[in-house]
Structure 1
């Protein structure tokens, strides 16, 4: 296992027309010369990410998935615009280079950005990577620092005030994600009705200080400096970013955060190395976020429960595509099981108030 995120052969059914892409990029980005290669990063579950090589230059291309898509998801122009606005004020985003919606080039809109090389943490730490307990704790602290810095940006000054509507954000999220789950539900997963009813009945008020939120901030969406694994140099996958409640962002992040006292089932479906010695717990993360941002957080169990539910919806939307034969990616076959495990975890939060 390598510590770097390496591209591999393109999966069947997800190939691109290399010649057309190369012609477009050479016409729009100066200095590109040489033959083209196309490989794919296999780790993502939503938008597809490719490594485009042209001569000695490496670029990263993002496009929507093939098959059924949620109506408001996978907006490449929105993601590209966001990166362009953020790059001058938030150094952790890659440089966007080109956006294209010409069907003569590709069947879907796409954009191209610089490749940021570094370490990306996934379920297990690679054997070649040494992250001792003190460093794991420092990494968690810096992970919170970067999230707090994002939430502290003046999104109006960045020209992103129209990216989302913070008024009624929480209520819209509960309604919207509930509808998405019902629309994508297959008959082999729980119905989540108890969880959706509980979330709707306990809506917190609008946050007094809405913020630019990432909405999928987690270890495998950040890039670490190979020379200092506690330093975050990049944040990826901005497709769900918007203006909203920063505590919803924190809740979404901690929906992925599995720790030692969690159930064996929840540990089974973890995708991040948060069980590693020295990693902070969810409660410690929340306390650190309060310390870093000056926020006072009440009833975080609600936000955490929503984070688990939202993760289940994302998994179910992807599983729907596999269930109906719209993708051949074998990783998706287990997502129905994950949805059931997340439902049990959400019910436990409802019954205990613990996070």
Structure 2
């Protein structure tokens, strides 16, 4: 059984940090650090740069923006602020240990947080994973319950109320992501004007409600207890968390939810083991969510297609960085193909009136 720490590998040449400068800062900001730090890099993410910083048997996690990040994106100090504001109400948030806006230390603003020693699932369940189908189903419900719990937090608390911009979340998201899509185009990109036109025509006139949302909730952003892999002990990657429409949050999560019966092309972009025996289907996820929250999901097709579209934009933004030579990470070379698969998925979902 592997855990999150075992996922860390040697730091890529293009992502190297000034270890001496980082060491001096961390020791000035975090009491009790001793010795020389060892740096490794987590390979699973496709956006921000995330490092494991080890002082003997004490591990920290450091996050910073990638080179060539789009203006306004990858705001690590905002993410640290969101996590600090949420921690008292949502215990699954890792504790923030230090944060700095001094780009001279590691090349960009960054923060350091506690490292949670647990299991993070990727595309497939790891060899020796100790859960049968019933256990996997329990894991699935527990992961969904944490999202529902997050969305149920009292968002009127001053520290949390400050995270959002008020009513009009869906409208802002539609405008923001379509604009990002236009800016992220590369030669040969499908413009998807028909998809954007459909989203524009079908988007809800108002938010279903406003609450705390994670905005990138999926299995590889969840840390599981090694002693009981059905139990969630941490939730990671809070960069896009805000106050927003919970159905947008659910739609975004379902964009990653590839089922066992989905076509091979969609299986090829799967990043979490939602195809495993015991996992819910997308239809079952929605039914479970409705049962637990009592929300009226109405015409969920918009939220599902928008989730796919947003994922397509994220992939295209990263692919553009690769095309422009701002990163040489070869795992990004195939994202152009992924964008095409997601564009087709959007059209198929529109034609079917929603696939759930």
TM-score interval for Structure 1 and Structure 2 normalised by the shorter chain: over 0.9
Deviation at 1:208, TM superposition (A): 4.3
Report the more deviating stretch, 343-352 or 69-78: 69-78
Whole-angstrom distance in 2 between the partners of 1:162 and 1:249: 19
Counterpart in the other structure of 1:195: 195
Counterpart in the other structure of 1:8: 9
Deviation at 1:209, TM superposition (A): 2.4
**SS of 1:159's equivalent?**
helix
Report the more deviating stretch, 200-209 or 307-316: 200-209
Counterpart in the other structure of 1:338: 338
Whole-angstrom distance in 1 between the partners of 2:70 and 2:324: 15
Provide, for residues 88-136 of structure 1, a one-character-per-residue CA deviation record: whole Å limited to 9, x for no partner: 1101110111111123423210000000010111001111212211111
Counterpart in the other structure of 1:302: 302
Whole-angstrom distance in 2 between the partners of 1:186 and 1:291: 43
Deviation at 1:330, TM superposition (A): 0.2
Whole-angstrom distance in 2 between the partners of 1:85 and 1:243: 12
Q: Does the 8 A contact of 1:60 with 1:115 survive in 2?
A: yes
Q: Does the 8 A contact of 1:85 with 1:158 survive in 2?
A: no
Q: Does the 8 A contact of 1:64 with 1:109 survive in 2?
A: yes
Q: Does the 8 A contact of 1:48 with 1:63 survive in 2?
A: yes
Counterpart in the other structure of 1:23: 24
Q: Does the 8 A contact of 1:163 with 1:243 survive in 2?
A: yes
The TM-score, its normalising length taken from structure 1, stands at: 0.97
**SS of 1:266's equivalent?**
helix
Report the more deviating stretch, 160-169 or 89-98: 160-169
Deviation at 1:159, TM superposition (A): 1.1
Pairwise mapping of residues 196-235 of structure 1 onto structure 2 (< 5 A)?
A: 196-235=196-235
Report the more deviating stretch, 322-331 or 257-266: 257-266
Whole-angstrom distance in 2 between the partners of 1:130 and 1:191: 45
Gaps of 5+ in 2: none
Pairwise mapping of residues 1-355 of structure 1 onto structure 2 (< 5 A)?
A: 2-6=2-6, 7-66=8-67, 68-157=68-157, 159-355=159-355
Aligned length: 354
**SS of 1:59's equivalent?**
strand
Whole-angstrom distance in 2 between the partners of 1:111 and 1:94: 12
Whole-angstrom distance in 1 between the partners of 2:193 and 2:26: 48
Q: Does the 8 A contact of 2:168 with 2:207 survive in 1?
A: no
The TM-score, its normalising length taken from structure 2, stands at: 0.97
**SS of 2:10's equivalent?**
coil
Q: Does the 8 A contact of 1:136 with 1:277 survive in 2?
A: yes
**SS of 1:260's equivalent?**
coil
Whole-angstrom distance in 1 between the partners of 2:208 and 2:4: 40
Change (3 A) 1:3 1:113: closer
Whole-angstrom distance in 1 between the partners of 2:158 and 2:82: 9
